[in-house]
Structure formats: structure tokens, C-alpha cells
Amino acid sequence: MLDLIIIGAGPAGITAAIYAARKKMNFVIISRDVGGQTAWSGGVENYTGYQFIPGIELVAKFEEHMKTFAVPLHEGESVQELMRQRDMFVVRTDKTEYQARTVIVASGKQSRELGVPGEKEFRNKGLTYCATCDGPLFANKDVAVIGGGNSALDAALQLMRIARRVYLINIAAELTGDSAIAEKLKNASNVAIYNNARITSVNGAQMVAGITVQKAALVDFLPVQGVFVEIGLIPSAEFIRDVRKNEYGEIMVNCKSETDVPGLFAAGDVTDVPAKQIIVAAGEGAKAALSAFHYVAIHSF
Ligand SMILES: Cc1cc2nc3c(=O)[nH]c(=O)nc-3n(C[C@H](O)[C@H](O)[C@H](O)COP(=O)(O)OP(=O)(O)OC[C@H]3O[C@@H](n4cnc5c(N)ncnc54)[C@H](O)[C@@H]3O)c2cc1C
């Protein structure tokens, strides 16, 4: 049986892994990818030691650091269920099953889905959830950004410099994100803002060819080749039910990264700790690993 399983290899999980490795714990880190949301960031200006670094390069530095400790990384594996059985945890993935005395959940956040026809069908066929990652693929094309908050505004700002035309489809009466960015978008000649409008379907054959938008009684077809879904993030905590979560579905932790389940720790954006930032997630990952180490030390004979 393992001492520890870390779920997620974003800043929180990678930092937890570095601490666990330095404590010589017997552990694995399981993750769908390496880097998490940090890889989506075009530029990070608030990680101590770097005045500016593209997110993807910061991830490469994290990974390089982690790999100096020969960390057992199980990449490309997805956790389906986490259960407590007597005094141990069972983690079931899409590949196998693991058992450990402690678990750190560092699974971060994932993009909220639209839930309209065509969304699943055209995912990665013109429909994407990351403007920073995929924006450059739509040079001189027409695109739609769905949302009206900060992520949507940020995506539209990036895309208006790359794409030919940007439609911003906002369900609310006004844009709710940063007013300075909203002003820039309103003044841009290639941006059209549709307030009080909802996307009802994504259309096309092999690839996205347009979207259907409803505004009051009017239904409009907008011919676009790209759709950027930017309607917020939700905690990736669906694989664990028996733990205390807040109204947003975030796992509740105390200042030692402990959940209400003995031996179960959580760190980073998946928790109710405020300030969803890389440096905060990394710090919380460090704390969680030290708490898990302490737990194993006092519970083993
Ligand atoms: C576009 C964008 C730009 C940003 N820019 C900045 C910035 O400039 N500065 C800043 O400080 N912060 C920024 N942030 C926020 C920052 O990226 C996050 O706060 C940080 O990445 C959280 O780290 P985390 O490790 O908690 O989670 P995440 O980064 O979300 O990582 C979670 C990891 O868990 C894995 N995972 C999830 N579910 C499962 C599962 N079931 N099984 C296996 N693995 C799983 C994922 O694959 C991922 O590797 C930005 C976020 C976004 C979206």
C-alpha cells in the first residue's frame, strides 16, 4: 500500500510531489495532463522570481524540477472514483486501482460546458475552451466567444488581434468583466457584442461552420469557424462525494490542508481557499504534502 496518492499535476500537485519526494514518501501522482490551467496562460507576471514567463514555459520548469526527484508520474490517467475503505483510500482510474493511507486532491478546475447541441460533436473541431492555447489557429477567420465575464473578455481581447471578426455572445444585459477591457472591445471595429443573447446550437459538417444565437424572439445564424466557450470554471471534484464541499462545489479545507475526512487532504483551485493563483496553489500543495507526511508518520507503527 502506498503512503500517498496525489491527484492532479498542476502547480498544487507538482509542488506536493516535490515535497513528498524530498520526504522519501512512497507515492504516485496521477494526472490527465501536466501543468493544468497554467499551461493555458499566455503570460504569467506574478510568480515570484519571474517578471514575465509564458505559462507553458513555467510548466516546463515545474516539470523539470519535479523530474529531478524521479517522481512516479502517471500521466494521461483519469481518476474516476475516490473512496475511503476502513483506514485506507481506494482510487479507481480509467486504467487501474490504487490503495494508499493518504490522498491529496489537487485536481483544480475545469471549463464549464454550454450544454447545447453540437458542443460535444465539434469539440476540438473548431470549438475550444482555451483562447490562449488555440487562438492562433484562427488567424483571419471569424470566431465567436461565448460569455461576458473576465475570461470571455480576455479571450475576445486576444482574438480581436488574431481573427478577422469576433462575435461576443453574452447572456446578460451588460458585460460583467473588467470595464477597461469591455471599453476596448466596444471600440474595436472587428468586434460585435450581442448582449441578452444565448447560443442555442453549434453547427457544421466536419468542422464548425456557424452558431445559432437567440436574442428575444429573433434567431440568428452567425457564420464562424471558431467557437471559444468562456463561461467560467468549475471544481474538478466530481469523483469524490463523501467530503465536505461549499456551495460552489469546492472541497473545504482548514489551514493544514485537511478535509473533514482523516487522511484526505486537498490543495489549490479545487479547494475553498481564496485567491485562485499559481503561487497560492503551489504553496497549498507544499502544505498538503507536509500534512500528509505528518499523518503517515503518526499513524504507522
Ligand atoms: C487562462 C488562465 C490564465 C491564468 N493566468 C494566471 C496568471 O497569470 N497568474 C496566476 O497566478 N494564475 C493564473 N491563472 C490561475 C492558475 O492557473 C490556477 O490558479 C492554478 O493553475 C491552479 O493550480 P491547481 O494545481 O490547483 O489546478 P490546475 O492548474 O487546474 O491543475 C489540475 C490538474 O489536475 C488534473 N486533473 C483534474 N481532474 C483529474 C482527474 N479526475 N484525474 C486525473 N487528473 C485530473 C488536471 O489534468 C490538471 O493537471 C490562470 C488561469 C487561467 C484559466
Report the nearest-CA residue for atom 19 of ligand 1: 277
| pLDDT of amino acid 41 | 79
- Whether the per-residue pLDDT at 98 is higher than 80: the answer is yes
How crowded is residue 207: how many other Cβ atoms within 10 Å of its Cβ? 12
What number is the average pLDDT over the span 133-145? Answer: 93
Q: State the angle between helix axes of 11-22 and 55-67 in degrees (0 to 180), rounded to the nearest 10.
A: 20
| Whether 150 and 184 share a structural domain | yes
| pLDDT of amino acid 301 | 61
Ligand 1, pocket-test mutation among 278, 279, 280, most atoms within 8 A of CB: 278
Domain end among 206, 229, 252? 229
| Whether 11 and 102 share a structural domain | yes
| pLDDT of amino acid 202 | 98
Distance separating alpha carbons of residues 142 and 221, to the nearest angstrom: 13
Residue 121 included in any domain: no
- Whether the per-residue pLDDT at 164 is higher than 70: the answer is yes
Give how many domains the chain has, as a whole number.
Answer: 2
- Whether the per-residue pLDDT at 158 is higher than 70: the answer is yes
Cell of 108: 483544480
- Whether the per-residue pLDDT at 192 is higher than 90: the answer is yes
Residue of 3, 134, 154, 269 marked active site = 134
Q: Which position has the higher pLDDT, 126 or 40?
A: 126
| Whether 223 and 245 share a structural domain | no
Smallest CA-to-CA distance from 6 within 268, 245, 241 is with: 268
* 130 given a catalytic annotation: yes
- What proportion of the chain, given as a percentage, has pLDDT over 90? 89
The rounded mean pLDDT for the chain is 95
Domain end among 197, 229, 261? 229
Residue of 3, 33, 133, 178 marked active site = 133
What number is the average pLDDT over the span 261-282? Answer: 96
* 134 given a catalytic annotation: yes
Domain end among 229, 245, 262? 229
pLDDT in tens, 30-65: 999 999 999 887 778 899 999 999 889 999 999 999
| Whether 212 and 240 share a structural domain | no
Q: How confident is the model at residue 227 (pLDDT cuts 50, 70, 90)?
A: very high
What number is the average pLDDT over the span 100-122? Answer: 97
| pLDDT of amino acid 15 | 98
Residue 117 included in any domain: no
Residue 122 included in any domain: no
pLDDT in tens, 232-271: 899 999 999 999 999 999 999 999 999 999 999 999 999 9
Is residue 105 within 8 Å of 270, Cβ to Cβ?
A: yes
- What proportion of the chain, given as a percentage, has pLDDT over 70? 100
Q: In which domain, by residue range, is 67 found?
A: 2-110+233-299
| Whether 9 and 105 share a structural domain | yes
| Whether 151 and 239 share a structural domain | no
- Cα(39) to centroid of ligand 1, in Å? 8
Question: Using CA of residue 242, residue 79, residue 109, residue 191, what is the dihedral sign?
Answer: negative
CATH of the domain at 201: 3.50.50.60
Ligand 1, pocket-test mutation among 6, 14, 37, most atoms within 8 A of CB: 37
* 255 given a catalytic annotation: no
- Whether the per-residue pLDDT at 102 is higher than 70: the answer is yes
Residue 277 included in any domain: yes
Residue 118 included in any domain: no
| pLDDT of amino acid 184 | 95
- Cα(4) to centroid of ligand 1, in Å? 21
| pLDDT of amino acid 111 | 92
pTM for the predicted model, two decimal places: 0.87
Residues within a 6 A CB radius of ligand 1: 7-13, 30-33, 36-38, 40-41, 44, 46, 78-79, 106-109, 132, 236, 239, 268-269, 276-279, 281
The angle at the Cα of 18, spanning 16 to 22, to the nearest 5 degrees, equals 115
- Cα(221) to centroid of ligand 1, in Å? 34
Residue 69 included in any domain: yes
- Whether the per-residue pLDDT at 21 is higher than 80: the answer is yes
| pLDDT of amino acid 134 | 87
| Whether 32 and 181 share a structural domain | no
Contacts of 287 (CB under 8 A, 6+ apart): 256, 257, 267
| pLDDT of amino acid 42 | 74
| pLDDT of amino acid 190 | 98
| Whether 100 and 244 share a structural domain | yes
Q: What is the C-alpha radius of gyration for the chain, rounded to an integer number of angstroms?
A: 21
Burial of residue 236 (CB within 10 Å: 0-12, 13-18, 19+) is buried
